[in-house]
Amino acid sequence: ASSSDRERVPLHVEVRMKPPSSTSLVFSRVRAMVAQHLDNEYETLLLNSAVEDWREVAGLEKHIERIWIGECAVHLSQVTLQIHVYQPPSSSKVTEFSTNAEGSEEDDGDDVPAASVLQLPSRSLEGLWDTLVYEGDVKGKLLGYIYSTMLFSDAMVDFNIVTWNRVVLLHGPPGTGKTSLCRALAQKLAIRLSDRYQHGKLIEINSHSLFSKWFSESGKLVQRLFAQVTEMVEDESGFVVVLIDEVESLTAARAGAMSGKEPSDALRVVNALLTQLDKLKHRKNVLVMTTSNLSAAIDGAFIDRADIKQYIGLPPPQAVYWILQSCLREIMRAGLISPTTLLDWNQIALLRDTGVEPSNRDEKCSEALWELAHACQKQQFSGRTLRRLPVLAHARHLGLSSSISSAGQGTRMEQWLEAMRKC
């Protein structure tokens, strides 16, 4: 790289290959061809969107499924393309592992899996990252944190002097996309780090199962589980994301211990978890992501270990608008709404600001959606509630008028918006 290249900011280009699996030679050929194709036009590329015109390039059609341009904070004249070629397996296989010790007598036929493992990148998580909208640049901040820890690890910064724990905590009300963001970030990392790591794994730990009815065993369960996690992390050719959902159920134990009847057991669970997390922080190829709906209930010692404690709140009107718009577009794609163009938030906000009356149908529908977004935000709807609004609207107000057989023509957008407003 020339010195001017070194000052440039990377613009991430994600190239998804078609199955079945290709050789590394094909990967590098595809990378070179994409680089050549985009090089001529990269100052005109649109961020956070798919590139379309590669299909005419001979040789690319055969291998590529999608080319996606990532986020970027600087002007395109200051970027250098960083191309990540990846190929998710055609099926998303989830394996489960239990914490019952081999030959254990405990098997009473009620063995809740303690964790599940998903191979990354996975088809089931494709596109999830782009469907999530938050206030502020939460996604950028998380990616930035990962890149910084990578840089520090690579530069061999002395861990005794500068420390980090590789633990991220997302907390906030339920249904605001915390778990989805963890999964999406894991997928993003597997794609972006595909030139360093040959494969990735997402291990989702089921907090509740660790509090089994064999309560006094739970400390041992945590140890057994993390022994398996450590085994996976020891393979340094892969990257591992550990997701602990609703972490408060594990770490509230210490508080419970003060009043509960089995204080020593509860403490053992928390201590086992903290000890295991401390062991993982020395590994380069691991990230622990945790979520919680009740940050007040989390153990202080755990909170202290999280490098990033990010509050994820209810979506603001702009995010509500975007979520509903994406739902409506999808229903339109499926042919259940007759074609209508919905303006983007910025366009409709501008119209509202200038006080210009909507002059056509598209603008009128967009304005109705704008009002709906504000109404939903006032009702404090979570992302989860918003995404089911269309189904409820249809079931309650449109189901009778539009039978499945007439789905081909689609109901008018105005009717959908009105049904959603009533809901």
Binding site residues, ligand ADP, CB under 6 A:
131-134, 174-180, 291, 315, 319, 323, 383-384, 387
- Give the nearest distance from C-beta 312 to ligand ADP in angstroms: 6
Q: How far apart are CA 361 and CA 367, in angstroms?
A: 10
The C-alpha angle 387, 389, 395, rounded to 5 degrees, equals 130
Q: Closest CB to ligand ADP among 279 and 374?
A: 374
Q: Closest CB to ligand ADP among 134 and 321?
A: 134
Q: CA dist 41 to 28, 53, 71, 416, Å?
A: 21, 11, 17, 40
Nearest-CB residue for ligand ADP = 383
Contact (CB, 8 A) for 379 and 398: no
Q: How far apart are CA 385 and CA 399, in angstroms?
A: 19
Q: Closest CB to ligand ADP among 141 and 282?
A: 141
- Give the nearest distance from C-beta 244 to ligand ADP in angstroms: 12
Q: Closest CB to ligand ADP among 42 and 302?
A: 302
- Give the nearest distance from C-beta 232 to ligand ADP in angstroms: 24
Q: Closest CB to ligand ADP among 180 and 290?
A: 180
**Local structure of 104: helix, strand or coil:** coil
**Count of CA atoms in the C-beta half-sphere (13 A) of 398:** 26
Q: Closest CB to ligand ADP among 176 and 218?
A: 176
Q: Where are the beta strands (DSSP E) in 34-78?
A: 49-51, 64-69
Which positions ≥6 away from 174 have C-beta within 8 Å? 293, 382, 384
